[in-house]
Amino acid sequence: MDEMVQTQLTSIDKNDFQQAWDVVSGQLRLEMSKPLFETYIQPLQVRGYENEVFTLAADNSYMRDWVESRLKVPITRQLEGLLNRRVTLHLEVDNGESTQKPALRITPVEPEEMADNEPLPAAGNGKASSRKLALQRAYGSKRAAVIQPERSLMITQYFFSNWLPMLGHSALAVILAARSMCYWNPLSGELRNEIETEMGQLAERAAVSVRTVKSVLNDELVRKYFLRYRTRRIMTPNGVRTAGILLLVRMDDPLTPDDQVKYSLPEDEFWYAPEFGDTEDEEV
């Protein structure tokens, strides 16, 4: 058991709380819309971790209050999981004296015994990511080996609370089905969001009808903010025929039109590639 826990701890330098914050902020980047992350999380600066108090500095009191009211609990839990110590999160306003204080060092302590006694599944190169290890620990290794929680599909609370009432459940299913066919790593910037598919394949993945998929793809809000498509046609001895669709998928969540006005954060209306800019409502 001691060896198993030690393997998990070596995935992150337990003396470097900056590294712990990098992991947490990376996870928040996956869970939040790009504008919200860049406005409220990205500017935060680590000030230190001492006497079980983890301090972050915000640029202003509004940013501090926003993070404290919405994200204090999940940030605290994630830091405790990474540092294997009790954490009290303290948010302060940057006084302008320094943009980054030198990193303090902390002494590692023995972690509590894991609830699941099975060893963690071995990573391909012997070093699993911190996020994967944390998820395996939360799920228990037997369930994690089947479910693979690290292979998650991002859906933010914002999308669920703000976009779902506007778009409806069918659009939600189609958007998530399209995202499940793509790849996005916000930390590295790697993005593969242009796919070749068929209406039927997308409908099957979303558990809706082909007719519903067509309706969703022609919805103004969906096409403007989430999905773009164009018909792929090929030449055959019998003439030109439809051979599927090329689909461009937005992987992050934009602000709703109302919130763009409310927060003065307009979205780029042309997030899609130029070749997807002149899509037409076609029967496929």
Instruction: Read off the pLDDT of residues 59-83 as tens digits, 9 standing for 90 and up.
Output: 888 788 889 888 888 898 888 888 8
- Using DSSP's 3-state secondary structure scheme, residue 229 falls into strand
Distance CA 79, CA 27 (A): 11
In the chain, residues under CATH classification 1.10.10 are 163-276
- Using DSSP's 3-state secondary structure scheme, residue 244 falls into strand
DSSP-assigned states of every residue in 140-207: -HHHHHHH-TTS-----HHIIIIIHHHH-HHHHHHHHHHHTTSEEETTTTEEE-EEEE-HHHHHHHHT
Sites in the chain below the pLDDT cut of 70: 1-15, 95-132, 135-136, 150, 235-236, 239-243, 278-284
Would you state the structure tokens that stand for residue 256, as one six-digit string?
């709703």
Whether 164 contacts 148, CB under 8 Å: no
In the chain, residues under CATH classification 3.30.300.180 are 2-113
Whether 123 contacts 136, CB under 8 Å: no
Does CATH number 3.90.1150.50 belong to domain 2-113?
no
Does CATH number 1.10.10 belong to domain 163-276?
yes
Distance CA 119, CA 140 (A): 9
pLDDT at 214: 94
Burial class (CB in 10 A: 0-12, 13-18, 19+), 224: middle
- Own/partner pairs for 220-225, CB < 8 Å, 24+ apart? 221/166, 221/167, 222/167, 222/171, 222/174, 222/175, 223/279, 224/269, 225/250, 225/254, 225/267, 225/271
Instruction: Read off the pLDDT of residues 183-202 as tens digits, 9 standing for 90 and up.
Output: 887 777 788 899 888 999 99
